[in-house]
Amino acid sequence: MRFRCERDVLVDGLSTAGRAVSSRGGAQPVLAGIRMILQGDRLELTGSDLELTISVELTVAGDTDGEIVIPSRLALDIVKALEPGAVTIDTEGEEARITGGRSQFSLHLIPAEEYPPLVAPTGESLTIGAAEFAEGLRQVVPAASTDDSRPILTGVLLAREGTGLRLVSTDSYRLAVRDLPGTSVLAEGQKVLVPSRALTEVARALQSASELTLLLGERDASFLIDGVRLSTRLIEGEFPNYRGLIPQSQPNRLTVGRTALIDALRRVKLMAREATPVRLTMSADGLELVAITQDVGQAHEQLDAQYEGTDLTVAFNPDYLMNGLDVTPGDEVSIETVDTLKPALLRSLETTDFLYLLMPVRVS
């Protein structure tokens, strides 16, 4: 194999494909590598941990076709460190030579025949607008669990809702639901559970794209975005029944400026250390935020807000509340509550497309 390519193009390709390479190495050493397949001027870079596979297609100045597996981290570090300009990669026996400017590296390859066969994407291909989907991912992915011991909660549910698409995630402490009414990709009653890790990468790849193509198979899903293909295994199992938890309306309703609350929370949070909660005291006078950490200190802040309901103090994990406020659109938000132990409902006053349900922290 031999080809020439601009350094920055190759760095982008290697780092994108490298994001699917497991940092822990995993059971198969070959998966610590990136597979490069050169056919004519078309170079395909693939990284995979068998759960998530990312392939990037680049146009290069190809010379000799071939297939190699190159250590991912090292190859990226080398190419990144080269002088700007053209980089040449050619192989000789078990080694790859990386040349750029006056630098030359030779690097032991991983036998390419050990690279596991990767499933080709299956299913009908559907094209959807990138902007709205990317926004939906930004809103729901952070609420998914990162705890591998509860695999179902590490996924984001994609389900048909009405004629559109609904994205749902929960780590059991909060629940984020986003409706994309204009995006009809799923059949009636169809739903899939996509690992949030894969969707984080999808969101990253979507930054500069205008549309994406989705292929849904029985066991896997693929996202095609501007020459990048992300394929992921779907999570098997039943997503918790979240519908019954979403209240139509709640007795107490606070309306407050979103940015003002975010700013106040950011300040008060400084005194909510070691997992102590922030307390929201809601009354006709407005909203007061309080954080007290024993032996450290305390913070208070008063905010203008409208409140209808009985006077109430509810405590929340400040990070979870902040996450919800960050991804709720609009200038004003409402926080609806029942009592100190029931979930609070966070919504935008401008749209009903998104809601965030947050469980309080019980304080004695």
Partner 1 sequence: MCEHSFVNSPRLDAADSSRRGPTRILHADLDAFFASVEQRDDPSLRGRPIAVGGGVVLAASYEARAFGVRGAMGGTEARRRCPDLRFVRPRMSAYSEASAAVFEIFRETSPVVEGISIDEAFLDVSGLRRLAGEPADIATRLRARVRAEVGLPISVGIASTKALAKVASAVGKPDGLCEVPIGGELDFLHPLPIERLWGVGPANSAKLRARGIRTVGELAAVPRTAVASIVGRGSAAHLCALAGNEDPRRVRTRARRRSMGAQRALGRAPRTAEEHDAVLVALAERVTGRMRSADRVGRCITLRVRFADFTAVTRSVTLPEATAHTATILAGVRRAYRHASPLIEERGCTLLGISIGHLDDADAVQLALPFDVYAGDTLDHAVDAVRDKFGAAAVRRAAGLRAGRGVEMPMLPD
Considering only the stretches 129-137, 154-162, 168-176, 194-202, report the one whose residues sit in contact with partner 1 under the rule CB under 8 A.
168-176
Which residue type does 144 have?
A
Considering only the stretches 33-41, 96-104, 201-209, 352-360, report the one whose residues sit in contact with partner 1 under the rule CB under 8 A.
352-360
65 belongs to the binding site for partner 1 (CB under 8 A): no
283 belongs to the binding site for partner 1 (CB under 8 A): no
Considering only the stretches 34-42, 134-142, 146-154, 303-311, report the one whose residues sit in contact with partner 1 under the rule CB under 8 A.
146-154
Write the binding mask 239 to 278 for partner 1: x where contact by CB under 8 A, - elsewhere: -xxx--x----------------------------xxxx-
Which 332-351 positions form the footprint of partner 1 (CB under 8 A)?
A: 341, 343
Token digits for 152?
Answer: 């179902």
Among 10, 175, 199, 205, binds partner 1 (CB under 8 A): 175
196 belongs to the binding site for partner 1 (CB under 8 A): no
How far apart, in whole angstroms, are the C-alpha atoms of residue 144 and residue 47? 24
The enclosing H or E element of 121 equals: none
- The answer to whether 300 and 271 have CB atoms below 8 angstroms apart is no
106 belongs to the binding site for partner 1 (CB under 8 A): no
Among 56, 157, 206, 359, binds partner 1 (CB under 8 A): 359
Give the DSSP letter string of 159-218: EEETTEEEEEEE-SSEEEEEEETT---SPTT-EEEEEHHHHHHHHHHGGG-SEEEEEE-S
Q: How many of the other CB atoms lie within 10 Å of CB of 331?
A: 11
Collapsing DSSP to helix, strand or coil, 255 comes out as strand
Write the binding mask 298 to 317 for partner 1: x where contact by CB under 8 A, - elsewhere: -----------------x-x
From residue 103, how far is each of 79, 89, 98, 176, 275 by CA, in Å? 10, 12, 8, 50, 50
How far apart, in whole angstroms, are the C-alpha atoms of residue 364 and residue 362? 7
Considering only the stretches 121-129, 213-221, 303-311, 355-363, report the one whose residues sit in contact with partner 1 under the rule CB under 8 A.
355-363
Q: How far apart are the first and last CA of the chain?
A: 68
Which 201-240 positions form the footprint of partner 1 (CB under 8 A)?
A: 240
72 versus 276: smaller Cβ distance to partner 1: 276
CB of 139 to partner 1, least distance (A): 18
Size of the site for partner 1 (CB under 8 A): 31
How far apart, in whole angstroms, are the C-alpha atoms of residue 263 and residue 269? 10
Residues binding partner 1 (CB under 8 A): 145-150, 170-175, 240-242, 245, 274-277, 315, 317, 341, 343, 357, 359-364
